[in-house]
Structure 1
Amino acid sequence: MTQEYDLIVIGAGAVGENVADRAARGGLSVALVEAELVGGECSYWACMPSKALLRAGEVVRAARAVGGAKEAVTGEVDAAAVLARRNSFTSDWNDSGQVDWVKGAGIDLVRGHAVFTGVKTLTVTAGDGSTTELRARHAVTVSTGSVALLPDIPGLAEAAPWTSREATSAQTIPPRLAIVGGGVVTVEMATAYATLGSTVTLVARSGLLANQEPFAGELVADALKELGVDLRLGDSPERIERDEDGVVRTTLSDGSTIESEEILIATGRLPRTGDLGLETIGLTPDEWLDVDDTMLVLGADGSPLEGEWLYATGDVNHRALLTHQGKYQARAAGDVIVARAKGETVDDAPWGRHVATADHRAVPQVTFTDPAVASIGLTAKAAEEAGLATTVVDYEIGSVAGAAVHTDGYKGTARIVVDDDRQVIVGATFVGPDVQELLHSATVAVVGEVPLKRLWHAVPSYPTISEVWLRLLEGYGRKSA
């Protein structure tokens, strides 16, 4: 018999869980479908394990940067202990705790792989081959995320490369690790593995953190060099081979060769939509799902599918491939699904309860390198390309008293991008030790469009790194005088 629910959510990662939870709290019956581990990528192969791999090295380096503490540091990071602590955060890849949460939230978990068989109908095939037929009364949400892109490099597939999954779940540290790519996964894993004992070579054709302010990539590159990472910027692999002894040989475009025990490819992501049966409902498999601001999936004509029943949240809609943004979308989607199911008013005006407006202009992001990179909103270049009249203000964070106390020889840079016409901040970037703790104040300023004349009255405590806000505002005052 077909099982019916008000809402069916495909994908029980952090995003899908949040959609399901919001809808269940609103009184809807919900089925959550998962083919792998409940908790998804973030819990087992991304956010949590990667930050656990990075934290110990960050703490040791922080201690070594403070006189009186550095004298107490007598050893190196214990790689085995770091891996064990990482394993504890993933519960050794056992999702029973997450399953208990789903049940406790009043949500039905259906194990298996879901395929659309028609409008609001799905077949879920479990690992043992058994099938379950599901039908949604009101909505289906796709929250299946993304997978690593493997570029078309001769020999790559045969070389059994690592993706972010293998890098965050490895149980041993390879003596040598080659990394290809220039984004967040690349620089975070280069930081982690260099700290844990690998000899790391990083190959990035377009440089590091190309979508951030230029100084972010420059400061992170300097830090990676200090960790002993061999940076090959402006270069790219032309062939990759793994020999019978397990050694990977990567030939670069300049003719040089890198030898390593493992190679990590982190050059982008693809939507996990290829095997969902999207063609049965008029959509194209293997493509990102385009959505409106309430997360309704749009068809080829740019309109929601007939009946306005299909939603997509998280990576799969390609708006912002970040867990916190996906969860933000999930809250909006879960609430609007409840509202539409009950015939209630939909608040879909900009910044309304049922929309994800922030995805367009207020996306916060932290890269957990050492120094960290924290940013929100538009870069100076993006603001210029958007046609805004702006003033850009930079300040060296180490000149703030709180930073000097925090770390001996503190190195870091802060930048704000101000829309001169509206006198509000539209972008901010901070690079330096612990700057991630500055980011939410910047997020509030950007999302709230706080006028600079009011922001002057948000007095930073002394002596803290947050005093950089005062210096940035003073810099803007000098520039605009």
Structure 2
Amino acid sequence: MTAADDLDTLRYDVVVLGAGAVGENVADRASRTGLSVVVVEAELVGGECSYWACMPSKALLRPGAVLAAAKAVRGAAGAVAGGVDVAATLARRDAIAHDWDDASQVEWLDGAGIDLVRGRARFTGPRTLAVTDDDGAVRTIVAARAVVVATGSGPMVPGVPGLAQAQPWTSREATAVQDVPESLAIIGGGVVGVEMATAFADFGARVTLLVRGDRVLSGAEPFASAAVADGLTELGVELRFGVEVTRAVRDDHGVTLTVDEGEPVVAAEVLVAAGRRPRTGDLGLEAIGLNPGDALAVDDTLRVTAVDGDWLYAAGDVTGRVATTHQGKYDARVVGDVIAARFGAAGAGDGPTGAATAADVDAAPDWSRFRASADHEAVPQVVFSRPEVASVGLTEAAARAAGYPVRVLHLSLASVAGASVSADDYAGAATLVVDTDRSVALGATFVGPEVAELLHAATIAVVGQVPLDRLWHAVPAYPTVSEVWLRLLEAYGL
């Protein structure tokens, strides 16, 4: 699939930077019309989600959730003895993370006819990159058609005096933990902070969660934040709101965090979960007129808007649009199809009319998959806390801020028969945000056990802009928690 000018220069139609879930999907879709594609990766093929984020974190959380579900049902509760088996949980996590070995992912690339070059890439000019491997050898890779940046994001460590020297954990160290500490302080009340507080509380660690604002999950509906905070408290997590860490010191006894309000926090380890930033700082962006460290602004075909020539694209966290794996993979499918359509062999595309010119893609509104529109107001997300939070689209506050005429429907999930079958004393709630002019759902939030499985129906309703009077004919099975859809529509007056 390559043609070499010399031993140190490789040429491909498409170069993809990053072999995580996003980069893999870009490469797969872009190669479907015969384009030669190479993926450049400095770490493990499969990326953050496979080894340090989505998959290992959910493996750590699952045993506690299963035990809680069993304890919530008479007839099963009596069979539950003890808590989470930490050693078995970590062993299962290791298996799910393939022991941090990417051989199977490399095999997939080989089978798909996609080349892999290991090393760190830097732009040296338009369509041209220098790739340095672990031995210091440098090769040049030239893209004849397009370069796609899919390098993801990395954790931010605040500039708190002493914090960097205290050797804090990031999400990587937390999800790859081999020895559970006696105590853990977590800085940040977002998704990572909440999920890891849940997991380490299950493991028996004494957990303190330090939140700068007045609630966890600040972007969620307030009732969801409150339910998660209550759940953490029930697990024994100490929640401290409205605090800023002002200094960190590590000594033989652990890490001491000085805060601006209240007593210092002392813990064996400290996890920084204070947000992430795009991994663009060491890509040589200055060589193509961009600022290192910045997110790459893109249009809805994922072209980088600040670079001329229709050759540079970006997908996933690096764009600064939505930082979830599933949305990144969605972006990847869009940009891969765009590249295949624009640059692939004529007539070989799998779109409605085969391959397309750039003008076709830009001008044809029927080709919805060539636009990353779902990144704007239809983003789904699950927080695997206890209770779970599953949401899609706009919250009430976001919908009102955007100027929509809004009606909000709120129901207890315990009111449906499926909830009483699922668990004794089931606790949960659902909210539907409705645009009253069009009578369509703008957003939905579910809180409760296993509510992640309710989310895709809501996503379809929001993305499809299904009129509620039509949605009324989608009959939910009885007795399931999904019957909440019928109750919500009845509350709307249907």
Q: Do the structures match in fold with TM over 0.5?
A: yes
SS at match of 1:411: coil
The 2-side partners of 1:85 and 1:194 are apart by 18
Q: Gapped runs of 5+ residues in structure 1?
A: 300-304
Give the letter aligned to residue 72 of structure 2. A
> CA 1:263–1:90 in 2, change beyond 3 Å: closer, same or farther?
same
Which residue of structure 1 lines up, in the alignment, with residue 407 of structure 2? 391
Which residue of 330, 339, 344 maps to 2:356?
344
Could you say which residue in structure 1 is the equivalent of 2:336?
Answer: 334
Q: Distance in 1 between matches of 2:18 and 2:253?
A: 35
Residue 247 (structure 2) aligned to one of 239, 250, 262: 239
Instruction: Give 3-state SS (helix, strand or coil) of 1:20's partner.
Output: helix
Contact 1:347 1:353 (8 Å CA) reproduced: no
Aligned-partner Cα distance in 2 for 1:174–1:25: 48
Query: Counterpart in 2 of 1:199?
Result: 206
User: Where do 5+ consecutive residues of structure 2 fail to align?
Assistant: 1-5, 345-354
C-alpha deviation, 1:26, in angstroms: 2.4
Output the aligned Cα RMSD: 1.1
Alpha-carbon separation, structure 1, partners of 2:105 and 2:269: 32
Shift, 1:51, TM fit: 0.2
From 266, 280, 284, give the equivalent of 1:273. Answer: 280
In the aligned structure 2, how far is the partner of 1:75 from the partner of 1:163?
29
C-alpha deviations, 1:103-149, integer Å up to 9, x for none?
Answer: 11100000000011111011110001111111111000000011101
Q: What does residue 48 of structure 1 align with?
A: 55
Aligned pair partner of 1:113 in 114, 120, 130: 120
* Residue 255 of structure 1: how far off its partner (Å): 3.7
- Could you tell me how far 1:347 is from its partner in structure 2? 3.7
Q: Which deviates more, 282-291 or 21-30?
A: 21-30
Aligned-partner SS, 1:353: helix
1:213-362 aligned at under 5 Å gives the runs: 213-243=221-251, 245-299=252-306, 305-342=307-344, 344-345=356-357, 346-348=360-362, 349=365, 352-362=368-378
Q: Secondary structure at the match of 1:404?
A: helix
Asked if 2 retains the 8 angstrom alpha-carbon contact of 1:220 and 1:371, the reply is yes
Query: How far 1:385 sits from its partner (Å)?
Result: 0.3
Query: Equivalent residues in 2 for 1:118-137 (5 A)?
Result: 118-137=125-144
Q: 1:216-240 deviations in whole A, cap 9, x for unaligned? A: 1100000001100000012221111
The 2-side partners of 1:397 and 1:205 are apart by: 31
For the residues of structure 1 that align with 2:455 and 2:141, how far apart are their CA atoms?
42
Using structure 2 for the length normalisation, give the TM-score: 0.94
Summarize the alignment of residues 18-167 of structure 1 with structure 2, pairs less than 5 Å apart: 18-167=25-174
Paired residue secondary structure (2:370) = coil
CA distance in 2, matches of 1:330, 1:350: 19
Alignment of structure 1 residues 10-21 onto 2, 5 Å: 10-21=17-28
Task: Report SS of the residue matched to 2:368.
Answer: coil
CA distance in 2, matches of 1:441, 1:26: 33
Deviation at 1:351, TM superposition (A): 6.9
Measure, in 1, the Cα distance between the counterparts of 2:68 and 2:113. 45
Question: SS where residue 168 of structure 2 aligns?
Answer: coil
Which residue pairs with 2:348 in the alignment? none
Amino acid at match of 1:444: I
Aligned residue pairs total: 472
Instruction: Report deviation, 1:350.
Output: 7.8
SS at match of 2:265: strand
Q: 1:369 to 1:164 in 2, by over 3 A?
A: same
What CA distance in whole angstroms lies between the structure 1 residues aligned with 2:244 and 2:286? 36
Q: Equivalent residue for 1:382?
A: 398
Alignment of 1:457 onto 2:473: yes
Match of 1:420 in 2: 436
2:418–2:479: 8 Å Cα contact kept in structure 1? yes
Q: Report the CA distance between 1:335 and its aligned residue.
A: 0.6
Paired with 1:377 and 1:437, the residues of 2 have a C-alpha distance of: 16
Moved over 4 A (4+): none
Is the contact between residue 43 and residue 49 of structure 1 (CA under 8 Å) also seen in structure 2? yes
State the 1:455 CA deviation. 0.6
State the alpha-carbon separation in 2 of the partners of residues 269 and 73 from structure 1: 38
Q: Distance in 1 between matches of 2:375 and 2:186?
A: 30
Q: Is the 8 A contact 1:365 1:374 kept in 2?
A: yes
Partners of 2:32 and 2:340 within 8 A in 1: no
Preserved CA contact (<8 Å) 2:71 2:80: yes
1:473 corresponds to 2:489: yes
Matches of 1:475 and 1:126, distance apart in 2: 61
Instruction: State the one-letter code of the partner of 1:40.
Output: G
CA distance in 1, matches of 2:446, 2:153: 28
TM-aligned CA distance change 1:246 to 1:310, over 3 Å: farther
Displacement of 1:252 after TM fit? 1.4
Letter paired with 2:376? H
Separation in 1 of the partners of 2:119 and 2:223?
A: 45
CA distance, structure 2, for counterparts of residue 350 and residue 386 of structure 1: 26
CA distance in 2, matches of 1:134, 1:240: 43
2:420 aligned to which of 399, 404, 428: 404
**Contact 1:351/1:357 (<8 A) preserved:** no
Mapped partners of 1:61, 1:236: distance in 2: 33
SS of structure 1 residue aligned to 2:131:
strand
CA gap of 1:149–1:406, structure 2 versus 1, over 3 A, is same
Contact 1:7 1:140 in 2 (8 A): yes
Aligned to 1:302: none
Contact 2:211-2:243 at 8 Å conserved across structures: yes
The secondary structure found in structure 2 opposite 1:429 is strand
